[in-house]
Structure 1
Amino acid sequence: METTDDVIKMNKSYTVLISLIVALGGFLLGFDSAVISGAVKGITVYFEMTEWMLGFSVGCVIFGAMAGNLMAGPLADKFGRKKVLIVVAALFTISATWSALATGYIEFITARIIGGIGIGGAILIAPVYIAEIAPPKLRGSLVSFNQLNIVIGISVAYFSNYFLVNLEGESWRWMLGVEAIPALIYFLALFTVPRSPRWLIQKLNKVQLARKILQKIGGEEYAEITISEIQRGIAKKEKKGTLSDLFQNKYTTIMIIAFGIAFFQQITGINAIFYYAPTIFEQAGGTTDSSFLQAIVVGLTNLVFTLVAIWLIDKLGRKPLLLIGTTCMTIALVMAAVAFNNASYSFSGETLGKIDDQEMRMALSDLDGRSFEGQAALFKEVESKLTANQFLDFKRNRITNFIRINATLVLVAILLYVASFAISLGPVMWTLISEIFPSKIKGIAISVVGFFNSLISFSVTQVFPWELSNLGPTITFGIYALLSLCAILFVYKYVVETKGKTLEEVEELLIRK
């Protein structure tokens, strides 16, 4: 079958420019996701949070994203991808400004949820828009721009936090508020991009307007061939898809792939790593400054290997990247679990002297000279000597004074994990989601699957502080390793290759299967 790429010469620079502008939503998503890691200590103290309050204040942005997921698809189908993205940019701006100025816990949560709604829209609609304007041979790379911008946003957030952490006063307000600047830039830049040609034809029947946009992307031949393919697809559709349509037998393969990949992208712990990176490194005995520096290295690793994924995704393919990435993720998580499992905790006059709370120091003074293998034994002994509030403070802030661990192994494990995610589940999931759904059900399908993905992410983020304090890092990373192993098996059995195929060809392949 002759494809559009075989017969036309692409205006690649124009298509790349459009994709980069739209993918700025990914930058804001990544920045918003990671910037909270630097603010954790500040907001915990200012709002007097418990472990569960902290978990919710970090994870509530995902709670908002679930609402954004449910609304984004249908709204994008009705009003267009471009208009929804403009609203998304406005929500990011409002959220960043309000969360930085918040004076109460409820007010802070509300501002974060508004940003979450923006995330829910950006993470779904930006890849869909790019997939709909991109030629088949460029689609994987261009859709991956969204993931690239996500990781750039994460890296910039870590850098921003590092330079702002030592500001006098409430530095966490500056960390959260600086996001308003790129959000406003995104809002203005979106007015320069065209509407999706596929949406213009499918929803408004504006063939001439769509033709002008497609001609600018790839010339007259490309425009005519693409319009013909879109109209051929429309001719097969009898009515707009509904929620019940997603569970028809003919869509079984599509929904298994979509729900499965959405589940494993989050359940393997990536957002726990990004949201709590400094906390994890402090658990491994690092100082505050070194932990923020190591978080920067995590962000840069994510960025570099996302670039590798963009280079490989249309060459090597989606499924091979997923298999390589999930295998290496499993190895990395086992390494982290082993490092923490081999850690010991020792009390001495020097380490006890680092506790500035005199009452706590006196309560633990009889532990001088003792060592503990593993957190469980340590916590059992310490809990009997402290009040509930003191024990919580010990688990959060004081434990790093006593740990002896191979910190290099922890750092290497986290970097390997992030690199592996960055070449696989990170970008490939969103590429697949933008490709596999037929036009008839795309709007409702991406909303449902996006909601599910955010629900899993919220659950992981909410539970992680409790896991780290109560189960300890060994069991926590061990659980993630087991789930990552399950991801390998799922990809091998269910995921199909979509490299180099038009959206219409992907639809025919999966529905036939």
Structure 2
Amino acid sequence: MRIPTNNHTVSQQNGMYLYMVCFVAALGGFLFGFDTAVISGTIGLVKQDFVLNSVSEGWYVSCALLGCIVGVSCAGKLSDKYGRKNVLIISAVLFLVSAIGCMFAQSFAALILFRLVGGLGIGVASMVSPLYISEFAPSQLRGMMVSLYQLALTIGIVLAYFTNAYLADNASAVYASESLNSILHTEVWRAMLGLGAVPAFIFLVCLFIVPESPRWLLLKGQEQKAEMILTKIEGAEKARQEILAFKLQRNIKEAPLALLFTPVYRRALWIGLLLPFLSQVCGINAVIYYGPRILEQAGFTLNAALGGQVTIGLVNVVFTFVAIFTVDKWGRRPLLFLGVGGVVASLIIIGTLFALGITSGPWILLFILAFIACFAFSFGPVCWVVIAEIFPNAIRGKAMALATLSLWIGNFLVGQLTPVMLESLGSAWTFWLFALCCAPAIWLTSKRIPETKGRSLEDIEAFWRSNHKG
């Protein structure tokens, strides 16, 4: 099922402006990835310094998730009321406060508090950054631009692994300054967590030089400002066409979330809830965070960051480029079909290898990397693209928050249940269950998700109104 397209070009000058704005917004994804992954290198060190039991250790790792859920829950309403840019500024401040606070925390309670603050920032950025990019980018480049968010996220994960490894390897140096000695030598976890302040500060400064979302401005009746921004992106003629299309919509004012539950948009709601959830229950975070443990069960000794986590992270980055360069050429559905099929097949094969005891040699690692690669060009970026473009203008912020909350619920379930499944069911059944859980995404792509390549957000909204019985 495909929505007809209207292709147009963007000049080189306008393209530079577009890339600059989308790059700044994508830094929210970088901070999301960095803050999420940096925790892996600090667990043992924090546990030792604060003498944590297993319950406290689990709370240290998972407390940011509570902040994420609260952040996502508030971000939709705030971004609809105060603007996408202003809420992104709030997220940058939260990241900055969290990084500095964690670096200088003098008690475990203070450390948890600042991790919760960081979780708020993650929750806000995970929703508003792709939303802002989708509303800013022209239709024929929207998939690529939103995929930049996922790319930045994967780069943030890899950089966190690299910096953790570097700081750990160089922690033997002794410094004259007592503060530096504590941060870089005796309690190096402080440097690992505090390093996030650098990109957070860059993100905060850059946000002051980018404009507000033009569609949010139109929603608020600020047509002149919106036209100026759209003209910079696509030229005067196309800007006027975009504004006219927006005005012709039935719902051009803010609407309650209940609009999403009407028959017209119910299909979009199901896509927005199911696709993010299924993207998480495939077990991507289980592989990223519990990868060393899984590989250890297969006979590997990949405990060093550069041996295990960084390898997985680099594959994640490289194959995200596949989506960036193809999502607006091939479309959303082909990438999802190919990628999700590869994810399911890889999971089944990995489980079978464990079940048959074929754990020597490179096969387990190769198919784990195949799983990561398939996720990286499909589920990872395309999920953000789809949920950022399928909702109507009047409630896009609130609806995007709901979809992102579904993603975090799936994330939470996988994070909490994976250790239990590995211990009680074993690796084979763990991977088979992941395959079973995410397989419905193939049906969802085939029967429910329309092809939105090259369509304006207004055209997609008109499609739902004209096909709500489909």
With the length of structure 1 as denominator, give the TM-score of the two structures.
Answer: 0.82
Match of 1:6 in 2: 8
CA distance in 2, matches of 1:7, 1:469: 54
* Alignment deviations for residues 128-176 of structure 1 (CA, whole Å, 9 cap, x no partner): 1111111110111011111110111111112112222332433333222
The SS at the match of 1:192 is coil
The SS at the match of 1:499 is coil
Answer yes or no: is 1:173 the counterpart of 2:190: yes
Counterpart of 1:437 in structure 2: which amino acid? F
Work out the percentage of aligned pairs sharing the same amino acid: 40
Residue 343 of structure 1, CA deviation: 4.4
* Alignment deviations for residues 80-113 of structure 1 (CA, whole Å, 9 cap, x no partner): 1111101101111111222333354433332222
Query: For 2:408, which of 444, 448, 454 is the aligned residue?
Result: 454
Counterpart of 1:255 in structure 2: which amino acid? L
Match of 1:415 in 2: 369
Match of 2:268 in 1: 254
Counterpart of 1:121 in structure 2: which amino acid? V
With the length of structure 2 as denominator, give the TM-score of the two structures.
Answer: 0.89
Q: Given the superposition, is the C-alpha separation of residues 407 and 466 from structure 1 closer, same or farther in structure 2, using an over 3 Å criterion?
A: farther
Match of 1:301 in 2: 315
Higher mean alpha-carbon deviation, 297-306 vs 270-279, is at 270-279
CA distance in 2, matches of 1:471, 1:53: 25
Q: Given the superposition, is the C-alpha separation of residues 43 and 511 from structure 1 closer, same or farther in structure 2, using an over 3 Å criterion?
A: farther
Match of 1:213 in 2: 229
Match of 2:219 in 1: 202
CA distance in 2, matches of 1:54, 1:333: 29
Match of 1:479 in 2: 433
Match of 1:223 in 2: 239
The answer to whether the 8 A contact 2:4-2:455 is kept is no
Match of 1:98 in 2: 101
Q: Given the superposition, is the C-alpha separation of residues 7 and 105 from structure 1 closer, same or farther in structure 2, using an over 3 Å criterion?
A: closer
CA distance in 2, matches of 1:118, 1:274: 21
Answer yes or no: is 1:83 the counterpart of 2:86: yes
The SS at the match of 1:293 is coil
Match of 1:62 in 2: 65
Note the 1:124-135 alignment, pairs <5 A: 124-135=127-138
Q: Given the superposition, is the C-alpha separation of residues 216 and 474 from structure 1 closer, same or farther in structure 2, using an over 3 Å criterion?
A: same
Match of 2:149 in 1: 146
Q: Given the superposition, is the C-alpha separation of residues 52 and 408 from structure 1 closer, same or farther in structure 2, using an over 3 Å criterion?
A: farther
- How many residues align? The count is 450
The answer to whether the 8 A contact 2:67-2:118 is kept is yes
Q: Given the superposition, is the C-alpha separation of residues 281 and 8 from structure 1 closer, same or farther in structure 2, using an over 3 Å criterion?
A: closer
The answer to whether the 8 A contact 1:31-1:150 is kept is yes
Query: For 2:75, which of 68, 72, 88 is the aligned residue?
Result: 72
Match of 1:28 in 2: 31
CA distance in 2, matches of 1:434, 1:461: 25
Higher mean alpha-carbon deviation, 87-96 vs 218-227, is at 218-227
Counterpart of 1:24 in structure 2: which amino acid? L
CA distance in 2, matches of 1:473, 1:36: 24
Higher mean alpha-carbon deviation, 113-122 vs 460-469, is at 460-469
CA distance in 2, matches of 1:17, 1:312: 21
The answer to whether the 8 A contact 1:246-1:445 is kept is yes
The SS at the match of 2:425 is helix
CA distance in 2, matches of 1:470, 1:97: 39
Counterpart of 1:198 in structure 2: which amino acid? R
CA distance in 2, matches of 1:176, 1:63: 18
CA distance in 1, matches of 2:308, 2:10: 47
Counterpart of 1:448 in structure 2: which amino acid? L
Match of 2:176 in 1: none
The SS at the match of 2:442 is helix
Answer yes or no: is 1:266 the counterpart of 2:269: no
Match of 1:184 in 2: 201
Counterpart of 1:299 in structure 2: which amino acid? G
Answer yes or no: is 1:339 the counterpart of 2:342: no
CA distance in 1, matches of 2:112, 2:159: 23
Residue 9 of structure 1, CA deviation: 4.2
Counterpart of 1:223 in structure 2: which amino acid? A
Residue 295 of structure 1, CA deviation: 1.1
Counterpart of 2:248 in structure 1: which amino acid? R
CA distance in 1, matches of 2:320, 2:52: 35
Q: Given the superposition, is the C-alpha separation of residues 200 and 414 from structure 1 closer, same or farther in structure 2, using an over 3 Å criterion?
A: same
